[in-house]
Amino acid sequence: MPHLPEHLLTGYRNFMSGRYPAESGRYRDLAREGQAPETMIVACCDSRSAPEAIFDAGPGELFVLRNVGNLVPPYAPDGEFHSTSAALEFAVQSLKVKNIVVMGHGRCGGIRAALDANSAPLSPGDFIGKWMSLIAPAAETVSSSTFMTATERQTALERISIRYSIANLRTFPCVSILEGKGRLSLHGAWFDISTGELWVMNKDTGDFERLEMA
Amino acid sequence: MPHLPEHLLTGYRNFMSGRYPAESGRYRDLAREGQAPETMIVACCDSRSAPEAIFDAGPGELFVLRNVGNLVPPYAPDGEFHSTSAALEFAVQSLKVKNIVVMGHGRCGGIRAALDANSAPLSPGDFIGKWMSLIAPAAETVSSSTFMTATERQTALERISIRYSIANLRTFPCVSILEGKGRLSLHGAWFDISTGELWVMNKDTGDFERLEMA
Amino acid sequence: MPHLPEHLLTGYRNFMSGRYPAESGRYRDLAREGQAPETMIVACCDSRSAPEAIFDAGPGELFVLRNVGNLVPPYAPDGEFHSTSAALEFAVQSLKVKNIVVMGHGRCGGIRAALDANSAPLSPGDFIGKWMSLIAPAAETVSSSTFMTATERQTALERISIRYSIANLRTFPCVSILEGKGRLSLHGAWFDISTGELWVMNKDTGDFERLEMA
Amino acid sequence: MPHLPEHLLTGYRNFMSGRYPAESGRYRDLAREGQAPETMIVACCDSRSAPEAIFDAGPGELFVLRNVGNLVPPYAPDGEFHSTSAALEFAVQSLKVKNIVVMGHGRCGGIRAALDANSAPLSPGDFIGKWMSLIAPAAETVSSSTFMTATERQTALERISIRYSIANLRTFPCVSILEGKGRLSLHGAWFDISTGELWVMNKDTGDFERLEMA
């Protein structure tokens, strides 16, 4: 008997009877020829913001890094284990993606934790606390903006963190060089779970603008 | 003009005209009530192994961490930034997921890099090299198994790395305690990109067995 | 009273009342004209992997050599008694078979013995130990792959031994010459006792691929 | 594309659509619990004398060694590679079979070669010549029995060789000890390809008697 949660077994059977037969040739080609995605997405682990769903993406289309809060730490070639930097290096240097999109989303639990820095750690290791401290200076400033509502502070920090991650992307030499040559472009996006709206970052101003569906 | 790659704009329009209207109530509920996924998936960034596709999962169903090679490093409460540990802590302590599935896949580029440890680093930071060195002892052993074909070595290390990550999950006190109490279960799975087959780890032996579709 | 085990007497009566009458003409022709099988199979003695069952083969179809582990030793014209080489010579030079298939199988006791080389010999002659030492170098390498499960090591060595036997077939001048002329082709196959699956060796890579039944 | 002769592909498909479904439970059990055949058969490679067909045997029933002429060489613990002795040791010591049947057959090409010892070797290695020389003293005597017809000489040597192999079985200490204890019994049989008749050796006289079908 296979040990998998029942909902995954059911889901996989749906996949094999539905989507897979329709895309089996594509999977087979991708297996033989390797992946060649044009775009890397840095997204959050949140169960409500799957990039493949939001961008209706098929196999081979998106190289997806997901961590809590869709954060990219700054470049730090210190010999430590950096899962985010490793994924970035692989996408840019090996797969030669043309786009990197940092996609945040509303009601992000990681951002909420960053805004509530005085709460007790989730466990003695306090890994979330440490991880979200990457945006601690911004989180502290936003937390003290008491004229904003809790929701406004949350949305503000979600967007700040996207700009922060994009700025950190540019601390990686390979990213900044390729961006300078016009061979790589960086994007920001924010997904509103409640309405399905996608807000896209204006590259000039850093503002987020709702995508018109025309 | 929004700055997003054209294929993402197209995909998002498909989402808004197709999947979203059918699931808008679910998104709205998930926004209001928060996520409560039963299952965390640790998967690879690879564009051909999206957990939501393979498990036909809708919004709110899967909390998904994705890094290169679907690796979980061992517990190390050292104050460093650990994106994987942070996601794990959040899933277990805050979301109280009931299952964690480590899902690897065939033809994994990260595993290939680990098997080819003598190749030049992708960039001066050598982040992939460092990240994949988590499984260096196994990679060295498998690399020296020259009686096996390149594909056999690759598959062997892909499965070893899943067992390794599951073993590391158990080094986290919160995981081992909850597993001991029967409130959290750990699973391994391996996806064959070429055929769509899912192989599930036998908990007793560590072997991977193909899921019967019957 | 004939001295035969009861189950063989029963089986033989079934043969004479069932299969034989249906194929008596074929047996008669084969007796008169001699055998002219197109294919030689090198298989294991294992009671669960009879080539005639797996290939639904009738009388006259398969010339079958069976030894423990389906091994072909390398060419050694040293004047010793070589049952395997004798069968090979007879099949190729006298019967002029067009194909030789080396067929291994899962859960092979001979392969298990090779992986467990430190166990006590079965008898003072240690014939199994000596026979399986033909693949000792590979067995030692695989045995030391402790990151693999016992089943993974077993399957790996089963497949290695098939490739080894095929390589040894080519050390026989008559085989390599005829193969070079396109008059003899060599194949590898691996039978999964548990599922009935047949995995066929890819001649280019040496990998084993499951036969699609489609 | 799998590289297997077409007739094997067809045969395997017949097996999977016919016999396997009817016996899948038995295969599965045999895989899980291991083989435990009661009987070892030493038979010839000849394509017309498959033991599983003649004894209507299912998976798990017969442990089958097949070489040219169904010969068992005498016990020789000399450290050389002895495939026949290895199979015998495995059957008796590890599987603990209760019966060993040496089954010869009519029109055996190996026996014909032994009777025709002055013919040119099949190849420079002369493996068949060397292998069949195991019964050279009997072959020379029979060859010189010019009052017998060629067919009579052939049948005579086929039966002599069965008795010879049974005698050699008893040179293996493990065989003679177990036979003495009544835990192993040895049998001889000869299959007439043309008529389907099975002749069984009388243990007391060594004569072969046709099995009555009652």
Q: Categorize the per-residue pLDDT at A120 as very low, low, confident or very high, splitting at 50, 70 and 90.
A: confident
Chain B residues with CB-CB distance to C141 below 8 A: 144-147
Chain A residues with CB-CB distance to B12 below 8 A: 54-56, 198, 211
Does C214 have pLDDT greater than 70? no
pLDDT at A53: 96
Does D39 have pLDDT greater than 90? yes
Out of A93-107, A134-148, C83-97, least confident range = A134-148
Q: Categorize the per-residue pLDDT at B2 as very low, low, confident or very high, splitting at 50, 70 and 90.
A: low
A44 is in an annotated binding site: yes
B108 is in an annotated binding site: yes
Decide if C194 and D27 are in contact by the 8 Å CB cutoff: yes
Decide if D56 and C19 are in contact by the 8 Å CB cutoff: yes
pLDDT, tens digit, for every residue of C111-152?
A: 999 999 788 888 888 899 999 999 999 999 999 988 999 999
The secondary structure element, H or E, covering residue C161 is: helix C150-169
User: Of B141, B155, B76, B145, whose CA–CA distance to B112 is shortest?
Assistant: B155
Distance, in angstroms, between D156 CA and closest chain C CA?
A: 17
Can you list the positions of beta strands (E) in A9-61?
Answer: 39-44
Q: Is the ipTM of this complex over 0.85?
A: yes
Q: How far apart are CA C27 and CA D50, in angstroms?
A: 12
D196: closest chain C residue by CA: C20
Q: How far apart are CA D18 and CA D21, in angstroms?
A: 6
pLDDT at C68: 96
User: Of B14, B70, B97, whose CA–CA distance to B191 is shortest?
Assistant: B70
Chain C residues with CB-CB distance to D19 below 8 A: 53, 56
Q: Indicate the CATH number for domain A35-210.
A: 3.40.1050.10
Instruction: Characterise C163 by phi-psi region: left (phi > 0), alpha (psi -120 to 50), beta (else).
Output: alpha
B2, B90, B94 ranked by CB distance to A209: nearest = B2
C145, C205, C206 ranked by CB distance to B145: nearest = C145
Distance, in angstroms, between D75 CA and closest chain C CA?
A: 9
Out of B141-150, C36-45, C118-127, D100-109, least confident range = C118-127
pLDDT, tens digit, for every residue of A123-163?
A: 888 899 999 999 999 999 999 988 899 999 999 999 999 99
The SS3 call for residue D147 is coil
Q: Which of A13, A26, A83, A111 to mutate to test the interface with B (most CBs of B within 10 A)?
A: A83
C210: closest chain B residue by CA: B195
Fill in the amino acid letter for A154. Answer: Q
Q: Categorize the per-residue pLDDT at B14 as very low, low, confident or very high, splitting at 50, 70 and 90.
A: very high
Question: How many interface pairs between B and C have CB atoms less than 8 angstroms apart?
Answer: 51
B196: closest chain A residue by CA: A20
Instruction: Round the average pLDDT of chain A to a whole number and report it.
Output: 93
Residue with tokens 């030049």, as numbered in its chain: B120
C197: closest chain B residue by CA: B210
A59, A125, A187 ranked by CB distance to B48: nearest = A59
| Mean pLDDT in residue range A183-187 | 97
C147, C150, C205 ranked by CB distance to B141: nearest = C147
pLDDT at D214: 63
D174: closest chain C residue by CA: C123
For the annotated binding site of D for Zn(2+), the residues are: 44, 46, 105, 108
pLDDT at D119: 83
pLDDT at B1: 53
Cα-to-chain-centroid distance, residue A162: 9
Q: Categorize the per-residue pLDDT at A7 as very low, low, confident or very high, splitting at 50, 70 and 90.
A: very high
pLDDT, tens digit, for every residue of D73-93?
A: 999 888 777 899 999 999 999
Decide if C55 and D11 are in contact by the 8 Å CB cutoff: yes
Q: Which long-range contacts (CB under 8 A, 24 or more apart) does D182-185 make?
A: D183/D98, D184/D92, D184/D97, D184/D98, D184/D99, D184/D100, D185/C3, D185/C5, D185/D98, D185/D99, D185/D100
Decide if D3 and C200 are in contact by the 8 Å CB cutoff: yes
pLDDT at D81: 77
Q: Which carries the bigger pLDDT value, residue D116 or residue B42?
A: B42
Q: Which carries the bigger pLDDT value, residue C119 or residue C105?
A: C105
pLDDT at B78: 82
Does A213 have pLDDT greater than 70? yes
Does C32 have pLDDT greater than 70? yes
Decide if D59 and C50 are in contact by the 8 Å CB cutoff: yes
Q: Where are the domains of chain A?
A: 1-34, 35-210
| Mean pLDDT in residue range D127-147 | 91
Between strands D62-67 and B185-191, the pairing is unpaired
